């Protein structure tokens, strides 16, 4: 049965966020998982920071699809310049399709940016309201936009809303990092990643941030100590690099 508008606008329980909890989250993950503890010791403190500009973040995500990082940066810069240096929905609405194409957007990306912009301007998609929604409701709202899939919505949850318990199992980097850190024969299934990461909850976002860092480390540096029983508090101190 479809969810009623009244239910969708009702305040939701606040999901865990990382704004002031990075150290707590890191301690929790390290205490729960010996391999993660070894990785955290090598990498050091989590430096995940919020990305400002909700509309701009989504435009940047659309622009970056299927192009190199350098190309995406160039195209986004051209688009921002065309919008008068302000990446906001009202400024993009004023641009015609020829201008969007000349910035480097493909026809499909023009349609995606148009759909996002029209939904924001009309109020069909309230980016500020997303803060009050549960994670899956945020994903549902964002994936109604042309060109935005679940992975893009999960990145928005992690880096824009700073939600603490996101596990993007479709991310190739996360799959490869699980395989590397846990010495798996093949890239793991979604079910296996969810099972391994269950002990990180409610801070799987921090676990994923460290997994991305694991791809930058030599395998020899990630040897885990013999597993030990975590403390009941789940806040065993983490040794830092000096």
> For position 201, which CATH number holds?
1.10.1670.40
Q: Are residues 82 and 175 in the same domain?
A: no
pLDDT at 212 (0 to 100): 97
Does residue 5 belong to any structural domain of this protein? no
Q: Is the per-residue pLDDT at 232 higher than 90?
A: no
* Spatial separation of the C-alpha atoms in residues 153 and 125, rounded to whole Å: 13
Q: Are residues 91 and 42 in the same domain?
A: no
Does residue 6 belong to any structural domain of this protein? no
Does residue 76 belong to any structural domain of this protein? yes
Does residue 214 belong to any structural domain of this protein? yes
Q: Are residues 61 and 103 in the same domain?
A: yes
3-state secondary structure string across 30-44: HHHCHHHHHHHHHHC
Does residue 131 belong to any structural domain of this protein? yes
* Spatial separation of the C-alpha atoms in residues 108 and 171, rounded to whole Å: 22
50: which DSSP letter? P
Does residue 2 belong to any structural domain of this protein? no
Q: Are residues 33 and 72 in the same domain?
A: no
Does residue 8 belong to any structural domain of this protein? no
Q: Are residues 144 and 64 in the same domain?
A: yes
Q: Is the per-residue pLDDT at 118 higher than 70?
A: yes
Candidates 187, 191, 181; CA nearest to 213 is: 181
Q: Are residues 196 and 152 in the same domain?
A: no
Q: Are residues 37 and 85 in the same domain?
A: no
Q: Are residues 173 and 147 in the same domain?
A: no
Q: Are residues 73 and 130 in the same domain?
A: yes
Domain count within the chain = 2
Q: Establish how many alpha carbons lie within 13 A of residue 237's alpha carbon, considering only the half-sphere containing its beta carbon.
A: 3
> For position 91, which CATH number holds?
1.10.340.30
pLDDT at 239 (0 to 100): 41
128-141 confidence digits (pLDDT tens): 999 999 999 999 99
Q: Is the per-residue pLDDT at 3 higher than 50?
A: no
* Spatial separation of the C-alpha atoms in residues 211 and 179, rounded to whole Å: 10
Question: What is the end-to-end Cα distance of the chain in Å, rounded?
Answer: 56
Q: Are residues 58 and 118 in the same domain?
A: yes
- Domain hosting residue 59, numbered range: 54-159
Q: Are residues 58 and 45 in the same domain?
A: no
Does residue 73 belong to any structural domain of this protein? yes
Domain boundary among the residues 159, 181, 206 is at 159
pLDDT band, residue 222 (cuts 50/70/90): confident
Are the C-beta atoms of residues 39 and 210 closer than 8 Å to each other?
yes
How much is the pTM?
Answer: 0.84
pLDDT at 51 (0 to 100): 93
């Amino acid at each position: 049965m479809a969810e009623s508008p009244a239910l969708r606008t009702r305040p939701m329980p606040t999901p865990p966020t990382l704004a002031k909890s990075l150290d707590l989250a890191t301690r929790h993950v390290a205490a729960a998982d010996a391999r993660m503890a070894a990785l955290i010791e090598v990498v050091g403190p989590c430096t995940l920071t919020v990305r400002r500009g909700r509309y701009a973040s989504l435009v940047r995500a659309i622009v970056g699809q299927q192009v190199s990082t350098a190309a995406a940066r160039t195209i986004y810069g051209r688009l921002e310049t065309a919008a008068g240096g302000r990446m906001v929905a009202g400024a993009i609405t004023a641009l015609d399709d020829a201008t969007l194409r000349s910035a480097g957007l493909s026809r499909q990306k023009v349609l995606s940016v148009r759909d996002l912009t029209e939904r924001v301007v009309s109020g069909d998609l309230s980016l500020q309201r997303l803060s009050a929604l549960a994670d899956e409701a945020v994903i549902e709202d964002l994936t109604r936009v042309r060109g935005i899939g679940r992975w893009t919505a999960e990145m928005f949850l992690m880096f824009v809303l700073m939600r603490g318990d996101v596990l993007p199992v479709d991310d190739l980097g996360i799959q490869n990092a699980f395989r590397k850190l846990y010495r798996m024969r093949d890239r793991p299934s979604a079910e296996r990643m969810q099972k391994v990461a269950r002990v990180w909850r409610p801070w799987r976002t921090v676990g994923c941030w460290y997994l991305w860092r694991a791809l930058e480390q030599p395998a020899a540096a990630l040897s885990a100590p013999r597993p030990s029983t975590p403390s009941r508090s789940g806040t065993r101190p983490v040794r830092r690099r000096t």
